[in-house]
Structure 1
Amino acid sequence: MDMLIVKYTPLFKENCIEIFKSNLPKFFAPEELELFKSFLDQDTEDHYYVIMEDNRAVGCGGIFLDKKTDEAGLSWGMVHNAYHLKGIGKILTEYRINLLKKLYPSKTYKIDTSQHTAGFYEKKGFRTVTIIPDGFGKGIDQYVMKMDAGISET
């Protein structure tokens, strides 16, 4: 398995949209697609990445810094449905957490995720601080999770 993490460019937009759509409706609500497209068009210049396996885009995800709340965190992380449970999400998540620790060593890290992936992020050191029922859409609860920079993943 030959995996490579590369910086996102607009050339990957359709790949990332395909990855997003492969995770509907369990992991994302259909109404989130337009938000994701707008994110790809406007917010990916700094820290958004694509994970490639054998020259195919199989996942994407980024990090962010919110200057208003002084929190950094993980944004729009996903792996194509056909590639779930192969360790790709783990590699991409660990890459992004290490980047957060390097760039923002003293911040609290945050992720908004769902009940379907909250357990995965708990294993990485995040803890749930708020649960908003149907926060992302019908049947997809929003889990607001945080991690202190000093926590090391298991």
Structure 2
Amino acid sequence: MIRAYNKKDKSKLIELLRQNTPDYFDTSEESDFENYLDNEIEDYFIYEEGTRIKGSGGINYFPEKKLARISWDMVDPNLQGKGIGKKLTQHRINLLNKNPNIELIIVRTSQLVYKFYEKMGFKLEKIEKDFWAKDYDLYQMQMKTKY
């Protein structure tokens, strides 16, 4: 089931981030994620089965630029490759495709995951070395919406 985030999910999401560190996130990113959950969240979704959070991912909006950014995606490392990330990403793409104020979807990821987004239809726009932390490069990708 995909549902909206609520504040009681925070500790489980921090644990999910830690499970993905250092394979996909640098330890320095934990405080950024906490700040995001406390102050920058707009739409954030939880993939849950029973009471177990198996994945999560968000959307931030920039209506003045007619774009949205997919943000802070993560899946339980023991469940990667089982379609959870794809379902969460497709859920957000579907929402954004229904929004007449959004024409472009951006995802900022790393060299470790960009191929996943490529398979989802995103096109590589730019690369910036050591952007997130040392050895965690920025791979910025984009996709046009249906509008």
- The TM-score bracket by the shorter chain reads over 0.9
* C-alpha distance in structure 2 between counterparts of 1:74 and 1:48, whole Å: 9
Q: CA deviation at 1:105?
A: 6.0
* Contact kept in structure 2, 1:61 and 1:74, CA below 8 Å: yes
Match of 2:127 in 1: 131
TM-score (norm 2): 0.93
Note the residue ranges of structure 2 that are not aligned, 5 or more in a row.
none
* C-alpha distance in structure 1 between counterparts of 2:69 and 2:100, whole Å: 10
Displaced runs of 4 or more, over 3 A: 67-70
What amino acid is the match of 1:28? F
Give deviations 1:37-69, integer Å, cap 9, x for gaps. 01111122x411111023201111111112454
* Contact kept in structure 2, 1:72 and 1:104, CA below 8 Å: no
* Contact kept in structure 2, 1:26 and 1:140, CA below 8 Å: no
1:43 aligns with 2:40: yes
Match of 2:22 in 1: 25
Q: Please give the secondary structure, in 2, of the residue aligned with 1:51.
A: strand
My pick for the range that moved more, 64-73 or 93-102, is 64-73
Match of 2:55 among 56, 59, 83: 59
1:15 aligns with 2:15: no
* C-alpha distance in structure 2 between counterparts of 1:106 and 1:39, whole Å: 21
TM-score (norm 1): 0.89
Q: Over aligned residues, Cα RMSD in angstroms?
A: 1.6
Q: CA deviation at 1:8?
A: 0.3
1:102 aligns with 2:101: no
User: Structure 2 vs 1, CA of residues 68 and 31 (structure 1 numbering), >3 Å: closer, same or farther?
Assistant: farther
Match of 1:71 in 2: 67
Match of 1:5 in 2: 2
* C-alpha distance in structure 2 between counterparts of 1:104 and 1:83, whole Å: 34
* C-alpha distance in structure 2 between counterparts of 1:95 and 1:30, whole Å: 28
* C-alpha distance in structure 1 between counterparts of 2:100 and 2:127, whole Å: 26
Q: Please give the secondary structure, in 1, of the residue aligned with 2:11.
A: helix
Q: CA deviation at 1:108?
A: 1.0
User: Structure 2 vs 1, CA of residues 28 and 91 (structure 1 numbering), >3 Å: closer, same or farther?
Assistant: same
* Contact kept in structure 1, 2:63 and 2:101, CA below 8 Å: no
Give deviations 1:100-124, integer Å, cap 9, x for gaps. 1112464111000011111110111
* Contact kept in structure 2, 1:63 and 1:100, CA below 8 Å: no
* Contact kept in structure 1, 2:69 and 2:107, CA below 8 Å: yes
* C-alpha distance in structure 2 between counterparts of 1:27 and 1:130, whole Å: 19
Q: Percent identity?
A: 36
* Contact kept in structure 2, 1:65 and 1:72, CA below 8 Å: yes
